[in-house]
Amino acid sequence: RSRGWRPGVTPVLDKVPFQVLALGGDDISLFAWAPVATSFAAEFTRLTDLEFAATSHSRLRPDAHLTFSLGLLVTDEKTPVVKSVDFTERDLLGWAKQVAKGNRLNHGTIAMLYAQSAEGIPASLEAYRRETYLLGAEASFQLCTTLRPYSAEELQQLLTVATWVIERGHLSRLQRLVGAFYGTRQGAAAGLLHYAYQRGRSAGRGWIEALEHQLGATDTNRSPTPRALLVNYPPGRPARTPFGVEWQPATYEKQPTIWFSPLWDLMELAKLMS
């Protein structure tokens, strides 16, 4: 950071902005400032996706795609190195690999976790994901507030929008919106009402509407039109599942409707980029 490098700006470094720690095997660990690490993860995965896509059809098994999976832990500098490396390789990288292999994806995956200190690194990643990212009454409706693990395109889109949130001074508003959802975990009703109120109170000039325009403008798969923040990724075919893993909720007569939103993703990325 002291040398003035920021993502999206031409580097002025005489050295690479990260430190490499190779522990043997196929995995390599990099230590870097959080904004550098997140941008590196998105760009590295994008470039390796392009590299491997060019040769995938000429292989003996065209259905076996070569991809890179990345585990990304964002934490403070006081977190012990051993704890960081162990959790990142065992849990985060394992999660990214599980999703890539289980869904036979033809692109890389990035599993990220933001822990402000060593105490914030969960003992059980599976339990943490359910408790942190899933909101709502499980028997009827659930909102998954993350798109993790990300593709390179998803992470780059979210970084672009998070940067816009910071530059326009909307971080505190975004935090209040997220707080409204997490204040009533059983139904997320207060969050939905807060969202609807904020979106409707100043139609045409509200910050949420502007944010949704940004989400649409950065989506290269669609025309640049507004996308509702809370119905951003509805169930489709193939169906998206929470955290990209095989989903086994409690047994009900009717399975709950699950919607996906980058709500928590945007807040975390905006905080670490600010």
Give the domain ranges of the chain. 18-121, 130-273
Tokens read off for 222: 């669609």
Q: What's the average model confidence in pLDDT over 104-132? A: 94
Task: Answer for the pair 263, 177: CB distance below 8 angstroms, yes or no.
Answer: yes
Q: Look at residue 29 in the predicted model and tell me its pLDDT.
A: 85
Higher pLDDT, residue 14 or 68: 68
DSSP state at residue 62: T
Of 167-171, 194-198, 249-253, least confident by mean pLDDT is: 249-253
Q: Is the pLDDT of residue 258 over 70?
A: yes
Is the pLDDT at 131 greater than 70, yes or no?
yes
pLDDT computed for residue 59 by the predictor: 55
| pLDDT higher than threshold 60 for residue 3 | no
225 DSSP assignment: -
Most confident of 155-169, 216-230, 241-255: 155-169
Whether the per-residue pLDDT at 225 is higher than 50: the answer is: no
pLDDT exceeds 50 at position 237: no
The burial of 57, by beta-carbon neighbours within 10 Å (0-12 exposed, 13-18 middle, 19 or more buried), is given as exposed
Q: What is the pLDDT of residue 182?
A: 82
Does residue 67 have a pLDDT over 60? Answer: yes
214: CB partners within 8 A, 6+ apart: 160, 161, 164
Both structure tokens of 18:
């990260």
Q: Comparing 212 with 243, which gets the higher pLDDT? A: 243
Neighbouring CB atoms inside 10 A of 201's CB total 9
Most confident stretch, 53-62, 93-102, 222-231: 93-102
Q: What is the pTM of this model?
A: 0.82
What does 230-261 look like in DSSP terms, one character per residue?
GGSB-S-SSPP-GGGSPP-----SSPPEEEE-
Please compute the mean of the pLDDT values over residues 173-193 and round it to a whole number: 77
Return the sign of the alpha-carbon dihedral for residues 269, 8, 118, 242. Answer: positive
State the pLDDT at residue 13.
Answer: 56
Average pLDDT over all residues of the chain: 79
Where does the pLDDT of residue 170 fall: very low under 50, low under 70, confident under 90, or very high at 90 and above?
Answer: very high
Read off the pLDDT of residues 86-116 as tens digits, 9 standing for 90 and up: 999 999 999 999 999 888 888 999 999 999 9
